[in-house]
Amino acid sequence: MPVTSPSTDADLECVQLVKRFGDFTAVDDVSFTIAEGSFFSILGPSGCGKTTLLRMIAGFQRPDGGDIRIKGKSIVALPPNRRPVNMVFQHLALFPMMTVEQNIAYGLKRRKASRAEIARKVAAVLERVGLPELAGKRIDQLSGGQKQRIAIARCLVLEPALLLLDEPLGALDLKLRERLKVELKELQAQVGTTFAYITHDQSEALVMSDQVAVMDRGRFVQVGTPQQLYFEPRTAFVAGFVGDSNRWSGRVEDTNGTEAIVITTNGLTMIATRAGEPALSKGDAVDIFVRPEAIVLGRDADGAGGCENRLPGRVESLLFDGANSRVMVRHPATGGDIMVALPQTGELMGLRRGEDVYLGWRARQATCFAAAP
């Protein structure tokens, strides 16, 4: 799988990293580079090897193969405290009985910084994370979101070349996470420190990152901008993991190389567009993905004009969620449900369960991959 090629302005370069636990390979030949000052996320399901990868970069875990370089210099032989790297853990590891100030000063003290320098840097970093008034508070007097920002401040104050963040928002409730992901992105842009951020939440990765690596079973399956992953997934795994999709398994009935007529296992025939490698041929097993927002929904058949795929349906349920509303439409012939984004124009506001509707989608918006193994 091609990944970003090594470059001289890379802050971090991992080359063919491998980590095994017994005969299980947790990180399997992973190579990538992170450009200086960028926000890089590693996105993957639980157990795919994200934390193991970050721990190798931080120096808490020794790789079984490969190299890790920061600004061109190998760091694999260095102990964690000699690496220009800091890590924010999911459980923030703040000292609960110390004040905010003492927590942030801790690393500087260990480095034997002068009192004046410590005071100046602690004040500056608190200003930067927007919490100068909390300096004298104890950690156990803070809210979850405040603790999270202090944990980041405690790392930033050490001016690392690279900040590693292991699901730092994981312990927070949904509302707070939504807010902090925007704040964290702004903070990163402001301070300009390179961030390597791991998450299993695709929305976090898409919102915050310059580049995202999708990880599956120890390997990077695709590295790209959020837009590339969303619009041009290269494997069925990426298409299924990034964003919402309708997904069918099926078989190629006929193909001209770029487009294919496929029949899904539940009997739906559609024209889909081949994506990724290898080329398909008649009879191949495929996975087909259609995003809810790619489907035209209307009360009469005309609305779907121009779509190569058109079918009637009946509203099975409405999942109203403001701009994010979905309609589940049942296809009578196959009995399958198709998830459709509710158009925001308002004309379908009165849509009811049981109503007859028409669906349509373009062949190029039905992406078809060789079936996932």
List residues near Mg ion by CB under 5 A: 51
B/e letters for 116-132, b = 16+ CB within 10 Å, e = fewer, are eebeebbeebbebbebe
User: Shortest Cβ distance from residue 97 to ligand ATP (Å)?
Assistant: 28
DSSP for 280-348 reads --TT-EEEEEE-GGGSEEESSGGGGTT-SEEEEEEEEEEE-BTBT-EEEEE-TTT--EEEEEPPTTSTT
Residues 155-214 that bind ligand ATP (CB under 6 A): 200
43-51, 63-71, 189-197, 327-335 -> range binding ligand ATP (CB under 6 A):
43-51
**Nearer of residues 49 and 160 to ligand ATP, judged by Cβ:** 49
CB of 166 to Mg ion, least distance (A): 6
CB of 103 to ligand ATP, least distance (A): 24
Amino acid at 131: L
- Binding ligand ATP (rule: CB under 6 A), the pick from 49, 63, 224, 226 is 49
Q: Which amino acid is at 258?
A: T
Judged by CB under 6 A, does residue 50 bind ligand ATP? yes
Three-class secondary structure of residue 162 per DSSP: strand
Judged by beta carbon distances under 5 to 8 A according to partner kind, the member of Mg ion, ligand ATP, none in contact with residue 21 is ligand ATP
Of the candidates 14, 48, 165, 304, which one interacts with ligand ATP according to CB under 6 A?
A: 48
| DSSP string of 41-94, one letter each residue | EEE--TTSSHHHHHHHHHTSS--SEEEEEETTEE-TTS-GGGSSEEEE-SS---
Give me the least distance between CB of 202 and ligand ATP, in Å please. Answer: 13
Q: Which of Mg ion, ligand ATP, none is residue 65 near (CB under 5 to 8 Å by kind)? A: none
Burial class for 219, CB neighbours closer than 10 Å (0-12, 13-18, 19+): middle
Asked if residues 341 and 318 have their Cβ atoms less than 8 Å apart, the reply is no
Which residue type occupies 227?
Q
Partner in contact with 52, chosen from Mg ion, ligand ATP, none, beta carbon below 5 to 8 Å by kind:
ligand ATP
Binds ligand ATP by CB under 6 A, chosen from 46, 227, 256, 345:
46
Provide, rounded to whole angstroms, the least separation between the CB of residue 185 and Mg ion: 21
Residue with the closest Cβ to Mg ion? 51
Residue type, 206: L
Q: Which residues make up the interface to ligand ATP (CB under 6 A)?
A: 21, 26, 44, 46-52, 200
